[in-house]
A = this chain, B = another copy of it.
């Protein structure tokens, strides 16, 4: 088991590892990641191990190492690492006998701890306690505290720690080295600049002892500045030292207009103030922000036979916050958050479809920021559209900095047949992300009722993307229909297909929405209409849409109600997928078939048709959804972390509650399960978002229908109760759902329309329903 309950206020807030296994490091580094949306810090040990991968990522600070690579989030210089010697023996748990070991992450407060009792080969015992946190109060601050207690004899203690710029992204170096210096024997400062994007990074670090009586000396090496400390610790005495480090970049809004010298000075002075406090004081400030910003607002309480459910939902909330750059709308959520190198810090549809629902319902102000990122990166979308010969705005499959354009890498893993690298086609032909963004905007608008957002940003995106689709559609004379050919749908096993149902349907949705708003604005909001008419000529866009909207090729259910995933899928051969349905690692099928062969089998990587039926469920009847679920689910390997939560929600819809709960658990286990490699390169943001989505939008059945909040719960058998807060159209409320009751308490006494079963109620303060 990789979690424990915690006690008292920490009950169900503790993730723990109770035995040392160096083969599991990379998983724990990711799932126990620390962060605050500005920075993400992999939870590595202070000492070095071969299997350990240090990681510190600052949101939005992309760099491209070389023209043969794509831009990525650089792994920043490390401040966590500490070499500790006890009587000349370097501390490293493989070299001592471990008498006691516990490592925890408190997700309520963001505190990581490690307590070890060890025995040296010469039979001396020591207790070492390590604590660290990334401040939620000061986004630039990382704090560490170490306590060392020799139990059997005095010990010669040595420490070497500082700022280590010998860090890479799997060997790729993103920084050139700048000045490094020790100020007043106290503050180490080291500067770096990204090689291509020319972003300055300034790190400051300082170490503080609970005694004056120690030896210290500065040392420098290539890309390294560190201090050596020596001290004799008496048997029974506890040596305590604390290390405070900050990181600032020239991309930070507050430094944008500062000269490097000035922000170096400012950051040094800031740390000089910080070190007047001690670790515990700084921790309390950070913990306070965790409570205020996260738990007081959006905790979920679940009474389940399985307490893991309670923990898992909180785990998802914790990660949703530490990975999200809520401070800056020029950035968005990466597919692995800020917890690892996987997917290079790039932004996918994962943000809008899988993570955004949480923020829309819980922190609409953050949801807005994330959507503003898409507005700010319209420059990239316009670039991508025009480079393909299209009009309007086409969002890149993978996004990075707002003007980077398409950043999907081109080459991937080995093809087992040819021995060559496989070409990654997503960046060229996986085009549905553009309408996914629009879908999310409409969701946000309907739920948050943020008209200001729409006027400033939303409408422009909707029209510009619709314009893209009008130019992307291809007229087929024989059919007198507009097709979308040569694409990849969400099912990435199928390259170069024609008329992927999901892609076409979502494009249709996107264009229809533009048309709806065109007429709405024309008749109801002359000012906005005029502005958009002047800036992007929406009349001409509407005209283009109207010409073709009714001739878009949409896949229709066949006589068995099955909607073809694309023009060819239903004619492909079927094979026995059992071995792959139970796969322990992603991509198992590619150890037996290459992509060309997989392309010719009725097998899907993830929800494709099912994603369409979920997102646009009101467009399809229950029978169609069910027939397709029964057809496609057995053909889906869930070989993507995006697949399970959607299937869970659909299973609940079809009252397959055991299956739904099983899928919910499988989805949790993508990061929290027994597979010790799955999260090596970072947590799975979409899966993390999916846990919340399955819980609230799935089991609790939360859905908006225009101005009405629908609640259609069906709790798993294992659950007795779930309680959570929501914000719907500006109204904060508390919901408590049991097996057969729904209790709603409004925090602000504003009126909300609630739909339960087929009844619509108006709630003013509180109300309780049976269902």
Q: Which residues of A contact B (CB under 8 A)?
A: 23, 48-50, 65-69, 90, 92, 94-95, 165-168, 170-173, 176-185, 195, 217-223, 225, 412-414, 416, 418-421, 591
B94 near A179: Cβ-Cβ < 8 Å? no
Contacts of A92 in B (CB 8 A): 50
With A66-B195, A421-B181 as known contacts, state yes or no: A166 contacts B170, CB within 8 Å.
yes
Residue of B nearest to A591 (CB): B217
Contacts of A166 in B (CB 8 A): 170-171
Residue of B nearest to A172 (CB): B173
A421 near B179: Cβ-Cβ < 8 Å? yes
Q: Could you list 18 examples of A-B contacts with CB < 8 Å?
A: A48-B50, A65-B176, A66-B195, A67-B176, A68-B177, A68-B178, A166-B170, A168-B171, A168-B173, A170-B223, A172-B173, A180-B421, A217-B416, A217-B591, A219-B413, A220-B413, A220-B414, A221-B413
In the complex, what distance in Å separates the CA atom of A416 from the CA atom of B181?
10
Given contacts A66-B195, A67-B176, A220-B414, 14 further A-B contacts (CB under 8 A): A49-B50, A50-B92, A65-B176, A68-B178, A167-B171, A170-B223, A171-B223, A173-B173, A182-B419, A183-B419, A185-B419, A217-B591, A218-B419, A221-B413
In the complex, what distance in Å separates the CA atom of A179 from the CA atom of B68?
11
With A68-B177, A421-B181 as known contacts, state yes or no: A23 contacts B223, CB within 8 Å.
no
The residue that A181 contacts in the complex, of B90, B176, B180, B419, with Cβ under 8 A, is B419
With A166-B171, A171-B167 as known contacts, state yes or no: A416 contacts B218, CB within 8 Å.
yes
Residue of B nearest to A220 (CB): B414
Contacts of A170 in B (CB 8 A): 166, 221-223
Nearest CB of B to A541, in Å: 42
Contacts of A414 in B (CB 8 A): 182, 218-220, 225
With A94-B95, A171-B168 as known contacts, state yes or no: A181 contacts B217, CB within 8 Å.
no
Residue of B nearest to A417 (CB): B218
Nearest CB of B to A283, in Å: 29
A69 near B177: Cβ-Cβ < 8 Å? yes
Nearest CB of B to A452, in Å: 43
The residue that A94 contacts in the complex, of B94, B167, B222, B421, with Cβ under 8 A, is B94
Contacts of A95 in B (CB 8 A): 94
The residue that A23 contacts in the complex, of B90, B178, B219, with Cβ under 8 A, is B90
Nearest CB of B to A602, in Å: 25
Nearest CB of B to A235, in Å: 26
Residue of B nearest to A193 (CB): B68
Residue of B nearest to A67 (CB): B176
In the complex, what distance in Å separates the CA atom of A590 from the CA atom of B129?
34
Nearest CB of B to A564, in Å: 34
Residue of B nearest to A226 (CB): B414
Nearest CB of B to A148, in Å: 21
Nearest 9 pairs of A and B residues by beta carbon: A182-B419, A166-B171, A220-B414, A66-B176, A173-B173, A48-B50, A68-B176, A218-B414, A170-B222
Residue of B nearest to A90 (CB): B23
The residue that A168 contacts in the complex, of B49, B66, B168, B183, with Cβ under 8 A, is B168
Residue of B nearest to A173 (CB): B173
Contacts of A195 in B (CB 8 A): 66
Residue of B nearest to A420 (CB): B181
In the complex, what distance in Å separates the CA atom of A217 from the CA atom of B50?
24
Contacts of A68 in B (CB 8 A): 176-178
Residue of B nearest to A413 (CB): B220
Candidate in A172, A223, A591 with the most chain B CB atoms within 10 angstroms = A172
Contacts of A90 in B (CB 8 A): 23
Contacts of A412 in B (CB 8 A): 220
Contacts of A221 in B (CB 8 A): 170, 413
Nearest CB of B to A363, in Å: 35
Contacts of A184 in B (CB 8 A): 419
Contacts of A180 in B (CB 8 A): 421
In the complex, what distance in Å separates the CA atom of A644 from the CA atom of B344?
52
In the complex, what distance in Å separates the CA atom of A66 from the CA atom of B63?
14
Nearest CB of B to A90, in Å: 7
Contacts of A185 in B (CB 8 A): 419
In the complex, what distance in Å separates the CA atom of A165 from the CA atom of B92?
27
Contacts of A23 in B (CB 8 A): 90
With A49-B50, A171-B167, A219-B414 as known contacts, state yes or no: A69 contacts B419, CB within 8 Å.
no
A173 near B171: Cβ-Cβ < 8 Å? yes
Contacts of A419 in B (CB 8 A): 181-185, 218
Candidate in A50, A178, A195 with the most chain B CB atoms within 10 angstroms = A50
Residue of B nearest to A189 (CB): B419
Residue of B nearest to A188 (CB): B419
Residue of B nearest to A170 (CB): B222
Contacts of A222 in B (CB 8 A): 170-172
Contacts of A65 in B (CB 8 A): 173, 176
Nearest CB of B to A639, in Å: 17
Nearest CB of B to A167, in Å: 6
Contacts of A167 in B (CB 8 A): 171
